[in-house]
Amino acid sequence: MLPPNNRDDACRPPAPRSPLAMTAHPIAVEEYRPEQEPYYHPVGDEVALFEAAAAGHIPLLLKGPTGCGKTRFVEHMAWRLHRPLVTVSCHDDLTASDLVGRYLVKGGEVVWVDGPLTRAVKVGAICYLDEIVEARKDTTVVIHPLADDRRYLTVEKTGQVHPAHPDFCLVISYNPGYQSALKELKVSTRQRFASLAFDYPAPAVEAAVVAHETGLDPARCDQLVRLAQMTRNLKEQGLEEGASTRLLVHCGRLMVAGIDPVRACETAIALTLTDDPEMVAAVAEMVAAVF
Amino acid sequence: MMTETCVSNLQIGRPKAGTTPIPYSLSPMHWTRAKLDDHLSRRLEPVLSSRRTAAVAVEAVWRLSIPARGAALDLFEIAAAANEEIAFQFLLHVQAAVDRRGIQGLQGWLLEILDRYDRDGMYPAIAYLRTVGEGEATAVGEVALAPLAGRLETFLAALGGERHAIIAGVGPTTDGDHLILPERFHLAPTAEDNRTLYRWAATLLWAQLHRATFRLPSGWGDSAVDDLGRLDHFLSSFADPPLAAHLYLLAETVRLEAALGRELPGLARAAAAAKGALLATDLGRDHALLPPRARLCASLTRWLLGGNPGEAATVAHLLTPLATDSATVAASCAAVTACYPHLARLPGDGAMALPYLAALQPKRVAEALRRQRQQRLARLRVAIAHLAAEQSIHPPEKLAMRARTPSPSPTYELVAEGRPVELSAEVEGQLQAVVADLPTLPPELLAAGGWAPGYDPATPAGGEPVAGAAGDGFFYDEWDHRRHAYHKGWCTVREKAPAASPEPVAARILAGHRGVVRALRARFERLRTEERTLRRRHDGTDIDLDAVVEAIADARAGVEPDNRLFTRLQRDERNIAVCFLVDMSGSTKGWINRLQKESLVVLCEAIEAAGDRYAIYGFSGMTRLRCDLYPIKPFSEPYGEVVRARIGAIEPQDYTRMGAAIRHACFRLGEVEARTRLLIALTDGKPDDWDHYRGTYGIEDTRQALIEARRQGVHPFCITLDRDAADYLAHMVGPASYCYVEDVRTLPRKIPEVYRRLTR
Ligand SMILES: Nc1ncnc2c1ncn2[C@@H]1O[C@H](COP(=O)(O)OP(=O)(O)OP(=O)(O)O)[C@@H](O)[C@H]1O
Ligand SMILES: [Mg+2]
């Protein structure tokens, strides 16, 4: 007997979107380039703006709440501009050497290894520094000469200066919601970038995104988006953040796999958003009202 | 030598056990019996004696299941904060309550008890508490509002718009600010259905407020009055206004139920089931004996519940189109006009309410909505003033607002000298709130200077300018512990220019305390630095391993290795901002006032020596609309003659609404860039204001404000002079650290000392 969810279309994994999903082995950072078009539903004029900025060598700052499509947008643009994409997730231990490169001792030999930023500069990739404010301020300054009209990278250790490849494009992101006052971008860093503000898309667009990403039927997608908006209204009224588009996609996939909508929402949304039993119950009530 | 008792060990956030609520992280449900005994004995001490020990309470708790024990002990703390006797009785009866209501129901039960305690006092509350074990205390299927209200408020907040408080009263109806629901519901036979009907009624009331029931488009009612005044005009234009009002409520209910059915199908399904259950009661019967008009109304009600319209078929037919997607409030007005004659010609009184909705109150709601509109505009104005200050737009009159896209639902942008200005999140949020209610901004707001801080736009026809809505105020939420929710934008805080004393009061104080000041200055100068480990130093106390590894690799690579291989302890610049809040309530009259002044003068001298940034605000006021703060020394102003003159002029004023003062001080602290932010509140007593702020309400709001402060990264500290502080202080300032000073005369030395130990 077949297990119940082994129906033909019930539990199909999402179509592979990245080269990594298809190859089993790791690849060098600068070799990562989206080959199939990563699906991105434009919300405003951001595609045109990105293209103009890339052509004009203007670095970009993307800001917006978590899971609203910033990373997807950059992947899409990398595909559109036929450039490799180098992504670095910043954290507070990230040093300048982690970005630029360092000498390593390998079997008695000493070799220089380029960091991801240096590689991106050399091959003309889009370099995406995710959550830039998490990085220490002394780390962020290494991107300064790259982000103004000099467009070169100085590597102190090797005593070299790398002029950026004409296709090199610097993109940083941050989520203005979370930081404390101590974690703001330096003005001198910030003012090197043009800024694109992201937010959760309008309901119709968001529903279309969820439908495309999950294959869930449109009526259900509308309901998911409505639920998300309800949770977003509770931001700072018990919830730290409302449900992101990403959560809706997860939830939709569970539903497509045959999970009951209420259970799917509980798993993918309610329990993810909060640990407070009172708020979990409140979200559960919203789910019951919406579905 | 010091006579004051320091309750805290002065470590921020770590009050000594025993006098403060237990830290919950210890998981009371896992306590040993001995620990439990110890805790309860201490907590209940005021109501225990040699003959009455905590043993029975311990026994009662010990017999509970582990999860029930956790819940009961959490709630016990809440009860004990209100009244120890109630807390004691609560524990004795908690098992019975768990049996009747389950663990989930415990909180609701306690809320009911405390509500009664607030209203009627201790003995009635305890009498009620004891009924929990007796037979069926409530009618079958009956549900009470109290345990549902908090969850309902959250639900409605999620639907959007400003948060509405749910209060018990004659309803369900709304006054524009609150949603008023009956204290108990027993319309349907089962509790489940009654709960659904509560929710459905509340959601409908929410929809009335947010789906334009009270906002008629021009063409209905008198077009000369504003959108909020038209409904009343429209209904009064009928010969029988109550009948018209009833029909309008019916029409709007049809329209809104259908709209909610599309948005919240799950809830609508449950509501339909509950309505079906109502249909099986008296409401579904034929009412042959009623007079004709009442009979028709009853048939309409039956139809609304999903039953057969019977003789009301014609009227029902006129109302049916309201259920379509495109129906607007104008369609409801048209339907009322069409239906009215069918009922008006019938004899009898027809103005009866629907089973789960009571009559609308158009006048009251219009008033409230008008006031809210003004407040929203005022908040937007404040936000725009902040923005102007932030982006250094001088004078702020340069900012203008203009429509970016045309009517009917324009979007707006701010421009300064023709160039768009990037909106702050604050402005964006406030603008959205304004536009949700007022899609087209009135022209005077789009004129140049329309957002200048002092400018008050013409009040809409029929509206009164509202106290507290002026543009120079700050709005803060206030915590209502009984609702477990905030009153939104409840308090208006204004910064008032403090008086300056012509007398050389401060100079005299300085002369009198010369010795103390000299000693303090010396000690505070030594504070100017703080310690920090620096990495990659040429020399130091320890080896920096990372640096060494890197240097070896570099050396092998032939690069000159970095020789900064040590870590060193660095005494560093202090990076502290502190805001002092000084109680200027009436009760500080006399020598407390004098000692406050002395303390502040001495304190300023000391902090100047340490070089920290600091501000001093006095607070007083009366009612939530007049919470005044006196910037005796703002952060931006240097200490000098002016500040000294202001300290000299500090005089007792009215009351103490501490929560609002704390929130505003935190806001000011938030504007200063500093690694450490401190809030030190100096108060002589309980939070107290003229309008219900005294007692538990004020204590709980103050406590909540301190919790918020902590969340914002501010370290709060309270210094209090209240002699009978012990009973509530531990609870109120629990989120902060605190001490109380028994001998007020030591205050001038005490405050700098506290500060020094806090920031050392
Ligand atoms: N406009 C959009 N078009 C297509 N997919 C989208 C869009 N917006 C959001 N998504 C979906 O949301 C998911 C999360 O987006 P993404 O990972 O880009 O978020 P992010 O903004 O980078 O979040 P974080 O700040 O947490 O990194 C994507 O995997 C995608 O499925
Ligand atoms: Mg991302």
pLDDT digits (tens, 9 = 90+) for B177-210: 889 998 888 788 888 999 999 999 999 999 999 9
Q: Does A19 touch chain B (CB under 8 A)?
A: no
Q: What angle do CA B109, B111, B116 make, to 5 degrees?
A: 100
DSSP E strands in chain A: the ranges are 60-63, 85-89, 101-106, 109-114, 126-130, 152-155, 160-163, 169-174, 194-197
Q: Are B159 and B206 in contact (CB under 8 A)?
A: yes
pTM confidence score:
0.62
Centre of ligand 1 from the C-alpha of residue A69, in Å: 3
Whether the predicted pLDDT of B640 surpasses 70: yes
Q: How confident is the model at residue B728 (pLDDT cuts 50, 70, 90)?
A: low
* Range from A185-194, B99-108, B401-410, B669-678 carrying the lowest mean pLDDT: B401-410
Contacts of B553 in chain A (CB under 8 A): 102-105, 110
| Chain A nearest CA to B545, separation (Å) | 15
Q: Is A38 in the pocket of ligand 1 (CB under 6 A)?
A: no
Q: Does A196 touch chain B (CB under 8 A)?
A: no
Q: How confident is the model at residue B758 (pLDDT cuts 50, 70, 90)?
A: confident
Verify whether the Cβ–Cβ distance B151 to A226 is below 8 Å: no
| Rounded mean pLDDT, A169-182 | 70
Q: Is A39 in the pocket of ligand 1 (CB under 6 A)?
A: yes
**Which numbered ligand comes closest to the C-alpha of A63?**
1
What pLDDT was estimated at residue B396?
A: 67
According to DSSP H, which parts of B487-619 are helical?
Answer: 505-512, 514-525, 545-557, 591-610
What pLDDT was estimated at residue B200?
A: 96
Every domain of chain A and the residues it spans: 4-197, 203-290
Q: Is A67 in the pocket of ligand 1 (CB under 6 A)?
A: yes
Spacing of C-alpha B369 from chain mean position: 19
3-state secondary structure of B276: helix
Centre of ligand 1 from the C-alpha of residue A280, in Å: 24
CA dihedral B357, B363, B365, B371 (to 10 degrees): 180
Q: Is A41 in the pocket of ligand 1 (CB under 6 A)?
A: yes
Which is higher by pLDDT, B178 or B489? B178
Highest mean pLDDT among B17-26, B196-205, B449-458, B610-619: B196-205
Centre of ligand 1 from the C-alpha of residue A41, in Å: 10
DSSP E strands in B391-473: the ranges are 399-403, 412-416, 419-420
**Which numbered ligand comes closest to the C-alpha of A251?**
1
Q: Does A157 touch chain B (CB under 8 A)?
A: yes
Q: Is A43 in the pocket of ligand 1 (CB under 6 A)?
A: yes
* CA A64 to ligand 1: nearest atom: 21
Whether the predicted pLDDT of B18 surpasses 70: no
**Surrounding residues of ion ligand 2, Cβ less than 5 A:** A 71
* Range from A247-256, B105-114, B246-255, B449-458 carrying the lowest mean pLDDT: B449-458
- Per-residue pLDDT reduced to its tens digit, B312-370: 999 999 999 999 999 999 999 999 999 999 998 988 765 566 788 888 999 999 999 98
Amino acid residing at B250: L
Backbone φ and ψ of B72, nearest 5°: -65, -40
Which is higher by pLDDT, B136 or B665? B665
Average pLDDT, chain B: 79
Verify whether the Cβ–Cβ distance B155 to A285 is below 8 Å: yes
Interface test with A, best of B106, B153, B154, B564 (most A CBs within 10 A): B154
Which residue in chain B is spatially nearest to A233 when comparing CA positions?
Answer: B158
Contacts of B433 in chain A (CB under 8 A): none
* Of A180, A237, A288, Cβ closest to residue B163: A237
| Rounded mean pLDDT, B501-512 | 80
Contacts of B263 in chain A (CB under 8 A): 226, 290
Determine the Cα–Cα distance for residues B103 and A50; give it in Å rounded to an integer: 55
Q: Is A40 in the pocket of ligand 1 (CB under 6 A)?
A: yes
Atom 16 of ligand 1 has which residue's CA nearest to it? A69
Centre of ligand 1 from the C-alpha of residue A290, in Å: 23
* CA A62 to ligand 1: nearest atom: 21
Verify whether the Cβ–Cβ distance A103 to B557 is below 8 Å: yes
Instruction: Please tell me the total number of residues recorded for chain A in this structure.
Output: 291
Q: What angle do CA B473, B477, B480 make, to 5 degrees?
A: 140
Interface test with A, best of B75, B264, B666 (most A CBs within 10 A): B264
Which is higher by pLDDT, B383 or B701? B701
- Residues contacting residue A9 through CB under 8 Å, at least 6 positions apart: none
Interface test with B, best of A230, A260, A275, A280 (most B CBs within 10 A): A230
Verify whether the Cβ–Cβ distance B425 to A281 is below 8 Å: no
Instruction: Please tell me the total number of residues recorded for chain B in this structure.
Output: 760
Q: What angle do CA B313, B317, B319 make, to 5 degrees?
A: 120
Which residue in chain A is spatially nearest to B271 when comparing CA positions?
Answer: A289
Centre of ligand 2 from the C-alpha of residue A134, in Å: 13
Contacts of B558 in chain A (CB under 8 A): 110
Contacts of A61 in chain B (CB under 8 A): none
Verify whether the Cβ–Cβ distance A230 to B266 is below 8 Å: no
Verify whether the Cβ–Cβ distance A238 to B151 is below 8 Å: no
Size of interface A-B (CB pairs under 8 A): 73
| Rounded mean pLDDT, A94-98 | 81
ipTM of the complex: 0.82
- Per-residue pLDDT reduced to its tens digit, B610-632: 888 899 998 887 777 778 888 99
Q: Does A102 touch chain B (CB under 8 A)?
A: yes
How much of chain A is helix, strand and coil, in % rounded to 5? Answer: 45, 15, 40
Contacts of B270 in chain A (CB under 8 A): 288
In chain B, how many H helices and how many E strands? 26, 19
Specify the CATH architecture of the domain A4-197: 3-Layer(aba) Sandwich (3.40)
* Range from A55-59, B80-84, B280-284 carrying the lowest mean pLDDT: B280-284
Q: Are B247 and B339 in contact (CB under 8 A)?
A: yes
What pLDDT was estimated at residue B342?
A: 92
| Chain A nearest CA to B400, separation (Å) | 23
Interface test with B, best of A104, A158, A185, A237 (most B CBs within 10 A): A237
Highest mean pLDDT among B119-123, B232-236, B494-498, B724-728: B232-236
Verify whether the Cβ–Cβ distance A103 to B155 is below 8 Å: no
Backbone φ and ψ of A259, nearest 5°: -75, 140
Determine the Cα–Cα distance for residues B112 and A213; give it in Å rounded to an integer: 48
Highest mean pLDDT among B276-280, B520-524, B542-546: B276-280
- Per-residue pLDDT reduced to its tens digit, A7-28: 344 444 454 455 455 455 777 7
List the domains of chain B with CATH numbers. 31-133 (no CATH), 143-360 (no CATH), 385-446 (no CATH), 507-524+575-759 (3.40.50.410), 530-572 (no CATH)
3-state secondary structure of B273: helix
What pLDDT was estimated at residue B294?
A: 80
What pLDDT was estimated at residue A46?
A: 94
Interface residue ranges in chain B relative to chain A, Cβ cutoff 8 Å: 151, 154-155, 157-160, 163, 199, 263-267, 270, 425, 550, 552-554, 556-559, 670, 673, 675, 713
Q: Is A209 in the pocket of ligand 1 (CB under 6 A)?
A: yes
Percentage with pLDDT > 90 across chain B: 18
* Of A103, A112, A291, Cβ closest to residue B266: A291
Determine the Cα–Cα distance for residues A77 and B219; give it in Å rounded to an integer: 51
What pLDDT was estimated at residue B409?
A: 67
Whether the predicted pLDDT of B5 surpasses 50: no
* Ligand 1 pocket test target in A40, A41, A68 with most atoms within 8 Å of CB: A68
* Of B267, B557, B670, Cβ closest to residue A181: B670
* CA A69 to ligand 1: nearest atom: 18
Q: Is A206 in the pocket of ligand 1 (CB under 6 A)?
A: no
